[in-house]
Structure 1
Amino acid sequence: MAKLQNPNLAKIHRNYTVEEVADLFSVHKNTVRLWIKDGLATNDNKRPLLILGSNLREYLQGKRASAKRKCLPYEIYCLRCRTPKRPAENMVDFEIINGRTGRLIGLCPCCNNIINKYVGIDQLAHIQSQLDIALPKALKHINESNKPLVNSDFKK
């Protein structure tokens, strides 16, 4: 999987060669050459190719912005498919984390991978109009059970 490069590593008032950019971002020189073919501006067409740091930073910020996918309130981002998806059968479970937040847990309809999304409890009413949310039920305390456990060794 491709690693996201941090655009802030490039100094904006410095010129870089292809090799220096490759070392700076820990990528191969051919990757930097592909970036140039893809639209990364160089100073001129003479050798060695020089890349202005501000152009490099703008290019990487643009690549990062184009890779982002905004989820709607009822969508959950699937890491395997790399797209926001509506959970399978529009069903999710809600797991409380603390007093104000929780986690929606569902299945991706394409790859059947588990997908998660952290939401505030105040957002549940809005999301519940689009998805079927299974809220947690209070568990019975073990002392309140009127039937003894099957694996107990009671001798009467």
Structure 2
Amino acid sequence: MAKRPNSNLAKIHRSYTVEEVADLFSVHKNTVRAWIKDGLAINDNKRPLLILGSSLRGYLQAKRASNKHKCLPHEIYCLRCKTPKCPAENMVDYEAINASNGRLIGICPCCNSIINKYLRGDQIEHIRGKLDITLPKALKHINESSKPLLNSDFK
């Protein structure tokens, strides 16, 4: 069973019964009936209920679009709360993945879970005013140290 039905499976010039829609999207008949109660348009109130393919496709596309949450540049989407949030105390850590990409790691202010946002390195400057970003410090190489450790072989 697919989590999100692919709306392109519905042919727009065809009429479907509840059972045919259920078979098409591999869902239960009661799921299709719940879609009808939720606003899926039917052809008429006579039995068997007929659903136009164009209205079925439109309903599924609208349902998918309503579930999307657009984050502002300084927000991070929390998977537990299912909403975009500003990190707790506007503090995030930047972890470089490679030379051009990285991720912001913060804490959700509501549920205290870890929230992540992947971004390009040049996008950091756009959100630096809104968030307090902690960049990693480069470790000093032992060769460049003025006072090497006692057990090192470097002079």
What TM-score comes out, normalization by structure 2 length? Answer: 0.87
What TM-score comes out, normalization by structure 1 length? Answer: 0.87
CA–CA distance in 2 between the matches of 1:93 and 1:56?
A: 44
Residues 65-74 or 10-19, more deviating: 10-19
- What residue is the counterpart of 2:29 in the other structure? 29
Alignment of 1:58-69 (within 5 A): 58-69=58-69
- What residue is the counterpart of 2:94 in the other structure? 94
Matched residue SS, 2:80: coil
- What residue is the counterpart of 1:117 in the other structure? 117
- What residue is the counterpart of 1:82 in the other structure? 82
What is the Cα deviation at residue 141 of structure 1?
3.7
Q: Runs of 4+ in structure 1 displaced over 2 angstroms?
A: 139-145
CA–CA distance in 2 between the matches of 1:142 and 1:27?
A: 62
What is the Cα deviation at residue 142 of structure 1?
5.8
Structure 1: state its 5+ residue gaps: 149-156
CA-based RMSD of the aligned residues comes to 1.9
Alignment of 1:1-156 (within 5 A): 3-141=3-141, 146=149
Q: Closer, same or farther in 2 for the Cα pair 1:49/1:112, shift >3 Å?
A: same
Structure 2: state its 5+ residue gaps: none
Residues 70-79 or 139-148, more deviating: 139-148
Q: Closer, same or farther in 2 for the Cα pair 1:14/1:8, shift >3 Å?
A: same
Corresponding letter in the other structure for 2:64: R
